[in-house]
């Protein structure tokens, strides 16, 4: 495991797809654990599958299991929580997720510490003097009535600080969402985001339904949230992704956001501090 990052900073290791290993002080979080290997199929429901095109940068057996404090899970889809993660993660590990996912994790898979968070509800974790408050944020996995065909999804606000409650760094995870008016509430209620992690890819289901942000929608969200820094993820790992990272980078630059974007390939790390300036 990495050494403790400098005080007031968060260190993020990108494992692939939407899977991140996040370290702040003595706290370690894992997001959307997806450890299928290249060629394996992720199950997306209703008989839909998608083949993984890449390898995860870290095998599930290489995780710092003893150091993990929680998993932040945006929703239950096979490219965000898969059968490999289900077999290898400790059943006593806390999951912070949607109420729907929490019920399935507890009742079907035996993860008895799964916590279901309604939108704007929070849960706080402590280890030593390090604190993170995780708040469920709005997200919508498809436009209009089609969203009822997909599992409920949440964005997440991670507010890092110390035991006194002082917050030093704010991180936003978009989850698998499309752009819609509800995301504007995030900007109003969370005006100072140090790092935004954007789930992109323009995931397209049969019939042409786009269910995650493409390049234009990702840039739209940057227009609204205006984070100090932004880290794109979830863009080339599966065959259902139709919007390449290069399109997002070009559109973000065209709109004046080029200086916000962090490039981090799978296996690499980025460190962001709470004193980061726009």
Give per-residue pLDDT as tens, 181-197: 999 999 999 999 999 99
Burial class (CB in 10 A: 0-12, 13-18, 19+), 116: buried
Element holding 253 (H helix, E strand): helix 245-254
Contact 155, 139 (CB under 8 A): yes
* C-alpha–C-alpha distance, residues 165 and 161, integer Å: 6
CA 233 to CA 230: how far, in whole Å?
10
Residue 277: pLDDT band (50, 70, 90) is very low
Q: What is the mean pLDDT of residues 5-26?
A: 96
What would the two tokens of residue 25 be?
A: 């002080």
State how beta strands 114-116 and 95-97 pair. parallel
Is pLDDT above 60 for 1? no
**CA–CA distances in Å: residue 160 to residues 119, 190, 228:** 19, 14, 16
Report the DSSP beta bridge partners of residue 9.
273
Is the pLDDT at 72 greater than 60, yes or no? yes
Higher pLDDT, 60 or 145: 60
Strand partners, 160: 132, 169
In the block, residue with structure tokens 């239950």: 76
Using alpha carbons, list the distances in angstroms from residue 221 to 26, 52, 91: 31, 27, 35
Residue 87 CA: distances (Å) to CA of 34, 146, 238, 251: 12, 31, 21, 39
Look at residue 278 and tell me whether its pLDDT is greater than 90: no
SS3 labels along 34-73: CCCCCCCEEEEECCEEEEECCCCCCCHHHCCHHHCCEEEC
Q: Tokens at residue 161, please?
A: 């600080």
pLDDT band at 2 (very low <50, low <70, confident <90, very high): low
């Amino acid at each position: 495991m990495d050494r403790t990052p400098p005080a007031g900073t968060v260190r993020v290791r990108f494992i692939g797809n939407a899977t991140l290993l996040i370290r702040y002080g003595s706290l370690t979080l894992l997001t959307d654990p997806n450890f299928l290997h290249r060629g394996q199929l992720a199950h997306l429901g209703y008989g839909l599958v998608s083949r993984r095109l890449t390898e995860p940068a870290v095998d599930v057996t290489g995780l710092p299991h003893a150091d993990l404090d929680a998993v932040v899970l945006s929703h239950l889809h096979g490219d965000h929580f898969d059968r490999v993660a289900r077999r290898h993660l400790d059943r006593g590990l806390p999951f912070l997720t949607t109420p729907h996912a929490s019920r399935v994790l507890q009742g079907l898979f035996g993860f008895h510490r799964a916590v279901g968070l309604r939108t704007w509800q929070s849960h706080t974790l402590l280890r030593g003097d390090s604190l993170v408050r995780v708040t469920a944020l709005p997200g919508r996995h498809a436009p209009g009535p089609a969203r009822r065909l997909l599992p409920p999804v949440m964005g997440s606000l991670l507010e890092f600080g110390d035991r006194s409650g002082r917050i030093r760094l704010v991180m936003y995870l978009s989850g698998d969402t499309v752009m819609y008016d509800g995301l504007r509430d995030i900007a109003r209620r969370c005006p100072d985001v140090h790092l935004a992690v954007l789930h992109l890819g323009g995931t397209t289901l049969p019939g042409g339904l786009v269910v995650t942000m493409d390049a234009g929608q990702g840039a739209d969200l940057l227009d609204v949230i205006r984070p100090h820094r932004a880290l794109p993820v979830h863009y080339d790992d599966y065959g259902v992704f139709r919007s390449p990272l290069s399109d997002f980078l070009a559109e973000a630059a065209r709109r004046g956001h080029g200086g916000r974007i962090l490039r981090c390939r799978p296996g690499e790390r980025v460190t962001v501090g709470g004193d980061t300036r726009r």
